[in-house]
Amino acid sequence: MHGKEEPDRQNVCPLCGRQLPDDTTVNEHHMVPRSEGGRETVRMHRICHNKIHAVFSERELALYYHTVERLLENEEIRKFVRWVRKKPPAFNDKHLSRLRRR
């Protein structure tokens, strides 16, 4: 079948739902951080990945926020997703990476 097809789920960011480009703006996110024994990863935009780590500690991710559904329960993450969905798929805000939580 030719023509326009639905985007492959592996090529869509699980957090924001935008298409994932084939470039350096895509990261692998451990749903449970490696430091907490996690192995499973999902591909997502670097900006989405950075936002998750700016909002949550590794411990919070391991104990509760280890699914996309749970991440989206957080108001700050929901606001971010509403904002970033309006951006092109390769958009990356360099300032966001400096806001990482300590």
Tell me how far apart the alpha carbons of residues 69 and 65 are, in angstroms, rounded to a whole number: 8
Instruction: For residue 41, give the DSSP letter.
Output: E
Q: What is the pLDDT of residues 60-72, one digit of tens each?
A: 999 999 999 999 9
- Written as one letter, the residue type at 93 is D
Distance, in Å, from the CA atom of 92 to the CA atom of 25, rounded to the nearest integer, reads 7
Cα–Cα dist 82/22, whole Å? 23
Segment 42-53, tens digit of pLDDT: 999 999 999 999
Q: Could you tell me which of 29, 26, 4 has the C-alpha nearest to residue 89?
A: 26
Domain extents in the chain: 9-97
pLDDT exceeds cutoff 50 at 7? no
pLDDT (tens digit per residue) in 74-102: 999 999 999 999 998 888 876 554 444 44
Q: Which CATH class is domain 9-97?
A: mainly alpha
pLDDT of amino acid 24: 77
